[in-house]
Structure 1
Amino acid sequence: MIISIIFSLVVALSIFVLLENIGDNILDNYFDKNYFVENQKKKTLTDFKEYISENHIKMGDTKKISQWANKKKYVNLYIYKDNKLIYDHNMDDVDEYTPSQSPVVVLDKELYNIKFSDEVGKVYLECFFQYKYYSITSLINVTVSFLCFVVIMVFFIRRKTRYIKKLERELKILEGGNLDYEITIKGNDELFSLAQGINEMRKSFVEKLESEEKARLANTELITAMSHDLRTPLTALVGYLDIIEYKKYKTEENLKQYIHNSREKAYQIKCLSDKLFEYFIVFNTADDNIELESFNGNELLDQLLSEQIFILEDAGFNFKFQACNEPFKLKVNLISIRRVFDNIFSNISKYADKSEYIKVQYYIEASKLFICIENKINSNLKDVTSTGIGLKTCKKIIKQHKGKVISKSGENIFLVKISLPIT
């Protein structure tokens, strides 16, 4: 707005100066060619003579002479007698005739004889009739320049008001629920910042809604999958217990088998419910609320990975382990990180092929720690299904640590790659 005002003022002043120069040149040429001033002076002198004659005014009657002179806006009147100034229109009114002692300093041709009622005097007229037209011209120029200023300002203001009205219409579209509508952003002023802010807020809101929708769908899918996974062993468990309760078994060996199967199904249900609780605990914890501690990275990872490898090697798995020799520090929540490795190696124990080596390594690259775990999938476990709840939990925990989990599955190979910031 300030730039618009300054621009309008500069344009208006430029127009005023231009019009002044053009008007002055036109008036100068007109007055020079048409002897305008001389003609007006003659008319004024004739009018003064008639005024003196009709009112029988004496030379010393300055009051009456001043009455006439005051009506002539663009005329200065001087009266001389014997080359002495006896009346000056620019002097204060005097009550009586008081000749000046100063000699006359004017050209003879500019003096005109005037016959007063008592004697004859000489009159000198200074006429400025042309200034009337210069003043009128200046007034017109000021008016035109002011109108130009107003027009330019209205032009800029209308542009802004049109943009404001457009933003108002677009906001009503957003209010109607169409959050995909893009707010118009243009200019480089406060309205531009406002429109940009509204658009960023709209995008953030859309992203939040999409995130909530994804979370809702993920939870729905999880609950559906978990209910299915829980229902299967629960149904079997109820069946085994019914057989035991109503003594439908034939031998003691059958009874022991049913009790053993019931116990296995109970542990399966417990495992699934533990994972479910773990999932909800992790996903209901804000990223900022997690408490981090600083650890020696090599010592921590060697301990965590060695524990898991030792357990699986005892179960018949083979490992190729490659550690990083470069020293580094990690800021992590030990319980959460331990939970990540528990989930990953638990999946390895269920789905990995014992006849193939499981590759485990970690290294430093671009100020980040990378942990890679790769195994071959057991081809004999085609009927084994998974809800993926463990991997989702791992991704959430690593995200809380400002890191990332990438999992890839293909050609019977499963790879998990974890990246974490180091200090």
Structure 2
Amino acid sequence: MVSVNKKDSIYFQLLKLLTFSAIIAVTFFLLMNRNSDDFIARYYEESDYAEKRDERYVDKFQAFIDANEISSKDTAKLKAWVKEQKVITLRVYVDDKKIFDSEYPDQNLWDKDIESDEYDWEAYYTIEFSDRNARIGIVGWYEYQLYYCAFVVELVVSFMLFAVIVLLGIRKKMKYISKLSDEIAILEGGSLDYKITIKGKDELAALAEGMENMRISFCNMIEQEAEITSENNRIITEMSHDLRTPVTSMMLYTEILKKGSYKNEQQLLECLDKIDRKAHRMKQLTDHLFEYALISGEKEIELEKPESIEILFYDLLSETCSYLNQKGFEVDVDVNWSDRKVSVYTEYIVRILDNISSNIVKYADSRYKIVISSVNTENMLGFRFENREVSLEEKTDSSGVGLQSIKNMMKKMNGKCRITHENDIFAVELYFPYIS
């Protein structure tokens, strides 16, 4: 599972994206602002923009006077018009006396007899009022208007740049989410071999890995179920064949007995003995089949707490050796006891050793030793049971259902069973994973 650190989480990625976008947008805004200010200042100084704007306002002012027949003393109307224009100041002069100043709109300058002063920054024009001609001085704050418009444009463009960067960053995640959605749809369609894409270390990557692990587990489960089904079919087919043989023989012998086709009492006893052996054979086959079905039907087992392999197996192996000695077998034990611990299910271990002992008694040649030794791999350890097979006219467990039961029990304990059969040497190896 992908571990999600705080710095790799979607929350912090979004925070970093917003911070980065803000830095880019602010830097772009400052560069635009400085360049636009320089451009406006240079343009304002080198062009006749201000003069043209002054002339436009003068024409507009004259049109206002003509339309409303404004006299030079209608200061209230002059004040209202200048206030409406917002970007200019206006002074009116009559006979070299200042009679109106928009910077002091509430003062009556007619009675103050203020001399006219001309300033370099003002432009002067002649206006015709309804009662007389006058000279006006006009100053426009057009440069600040340009600065304000440029500021608004810069602010809007910078915000749009910020939004675009954020959306592009989010779009990358959205594409990944869309890809995961498409891949889930593929899995829903039954294509379980399709691998989920895992990108990054955030919550989405953890989610994708979880789905991938779930896909793998599901595939493994389907594969295991298919193997179990195939193995069950094989076992059933072979067991049916193995059961048919003794049943056929029993029917033959019972037919002989029913018809009285035996010559003497000795032949009668031989028929009964053969029927008895066939019946025992059928019982053994059905017992193995029942055990196999019982183990296969157990979904889960709870392993016992880890214990050293010597404590777990010493007594059980001793009992196995004693049982084989009673059956006329010589047992050579070459086990190197390890202090490593394993976790097992004791009931299964007892069944496994019983099956192995039963197979040895049925198939092993008593003229040769039974060898029990240690085996181990990089992370597993266990035992090897080796014997030399005797030639039998017929095998009681030819279907191998007993050995398959051993494999199933070892698998449920997270171990494995390895069976080898070379020439006349038959060996069963049991491996248990040790607990570090």
Q: TM-score range by the shorter chain?
A: 0.7 to 0.9
1:328, distance to aligned residue in structure 2 (A)? 6.6
Rounded Cα–Cα distance in structure 2 between residues aligned with 1:296 and 1:42: 106
Aligned with 1:131: secondary structure? helix
Choose the corresponding residue for 1:376, options 369, 377, 388.
Answer: 388
Does residue 291 of structure 2 align to residue 273 of structure 1?
Answer: no
Does residue 35 of structure 2 align to residue 25 of structure 1?
Answer: no
Does residue 48 of structure 2 align to residue 57 of structure 1?
Answer: no
Name the residue aligned to 2:244. Answer: 231
Name the residue aligned to 1:287. Answer: 300
Rounded Cα–Cα distance in structure 2 between residues aligned with 1:171 and 1:49: 76
1:181, distance to aligned residue in structure 2 (A)? 2.9
Where structure 2 has 5 or more consecutive residues not aligned to the other structure, the ranges are 1-9
Aligned with 2:83: secondary structure? helix
**Matched residue count:** 415
**In 1, are the aligned partners of 2:309 and 2:340 still within 8 Å (CA)?**
yes
Does residue 328 of structure 2 align to residue 316 of structure 1?
Answer: yes
TM-score, L = length of structure 1: 0.79
**In 1, are the aligned partners of 2:373 and 2:383 still within 8 Å (CA)?**
yes
Rounded Cα–Cα distance in structure 1 between residues aligned with 2:81 and 2:307: 109
Does residue 142 of structure 2 align to residue 129 of structure 1?
Answer: yes
> What's the C-alpha RMSD, in Å, of the aligned pairs?
4.3
Aligned AA (2:261): K
**In 2, are the aligned partners of 1:113 and 1:120 still within 8 Å (CA)?**
no
Aligned with 1:320: secondary structure? strand
Change in CA separation of 1:310 and 1:109 when aligned onto 2, cut-off 3 Å:
closer
Aligned AA (1:393): S
Change in CA separation of 1:233 and 1:189 when aligned onto 2, cut-off 3 Å:
same
Rounded Cα–Cα distance in structure 1 between residues aligned with 2:370 and 2:418: 17
1:273, distance to aligned residue in structure 2 (A)? 0.8
1:80, distance to aligned residue in structure 2 (A)? 9.6
Change in CA separation of 1:46 and 1:230 when aligned onto 2, cut-off 3 Å:
closer
Does residue 413 of structure 2 align to residue 413 of structure 1?
Answer: no
1:161, distance to aligned residue in structure 2 (A)? 5.5
Rounded Cα–Cα distance in structure 1 between residues aligned with 2:299 and 2:382: 24
- Structure 1, residues 203-252: CA drift from partner, whole Å, max 9, x if none? 32222211111111110001111111111112212222222233221100
- Structure 1, residues 65-101: CA drift from partner, whole Å, max 9, x if none? 21231132211346799xx99966456x63x628999
Change in CA separation of 1:187 and 1:401 when aligned onto 2, cut-off 3 Å:
closer
Name the residue aligned to 2:233. Answer: 220
1:390, distance to aligned residue in structure 2 (A)? 1.6
Rounded Cα–Cα distance in structure 2 between residues aligned with 1:334 and 1:185: 42
Rounded Cα–Cα distance in structure 2 between residues aligned with 1:64 and 1:175: 79
Change in CA separation of 1:109 and 1:259 when aligned onto 2, cut-off 3 Å:
closer
Where structure 1 has 5 or more consecutive residues not aligned to the other structure, the ranges are none
Name the residue aligned to 1:356. Answer: 368
Aligned AA (2:71): H
Does residue 313 of structure 2 align to residue 301 of structure 1?
Answer: yes
**In 2, are the aligned partners of 1:405 and 1:419 still within 8 Å (CA)?**
yes
Aligned AA (2:247): L
- Structure 1, residues 20-54: CA drift from partner, whole Å, max 9, x if none? 33322222211121254366457657876897796
Aligned with 2:372: secondary structure? strand
Rounded Cα–Cα distance in structure 1 between residues aligned with 2:339 and 2:209: 46
Rounded Cα–Cα distance in structure 1 between residues aligned with 2:342 and 2:164: 67
Worse overlay, 13-22 or 26-35: 13-22
Whose relative contact order is higher, 1 or 2, with alpha carbons under 8 Å and at least 6 apart? 2
Does residue 345 of structure 2 align to residue 338 of structure 1?
Answer: no
1:127, distance to aligned residue in structure 2 (A)? 2.6
Does residue 85 of structure 2 align to residue 72 of structure 1?
Answer: yes
**In 1, are the aligned partners of 2:98 and 2:109 still within 8 Å (CA)?**
no
Aligned AA (1:129): Y
**In 1, are the aligned partners of 2:309 and 2:337 still within 8 Å (CA)?**
no
Aligned AA (1:394): I
1:26-175 to structure 2, matched below 5 A, reads 26-34=39-47, 36-37=49-50, 40-41=53-54, 55-58=70-73, 61-77=74-90, 89=102, 94=106, 97=108, 109=120, 126-149=139-162, 151-152=164-165, 155=168, 166-175=179-188
1:376, distance to aligned residue in structure 2 (A)? 2.8
Aligned AA (2:245): T
Choose the corresponding residue for 1:388, options 387, 394, 400.
Answer: 400
Change in CA separation of 1:171 and 1:300 when aligned onto 2, cut-off 3 Å:
closer
1:188, distance to aligned residue in structure 2 (A)? 5.7
1:280, distance to aligned residue in structure 2 (A)? 1.2
1:338, distance to aligned residue in structure 2 (A)? 1.2
Aligned with 1:417: secondary structure? strand
Rounded Cα–Cα distance in structure 1 between residues aligned with 2:202 and 2:314: 57
**In 2, are the aligned partners of 1:322 and 1:361 still within 8 Å (CA)?**
yes
**In 1, are the aligned partners of 2:332 and 2:372 still within 8 Å (CA)?**
yes
**In 2, are the aligned partners of 1:326 and 1:364 still within 8 Å (CA)?**
no
1:272, distance to aligned residue in structure 2 (A)? 0.9
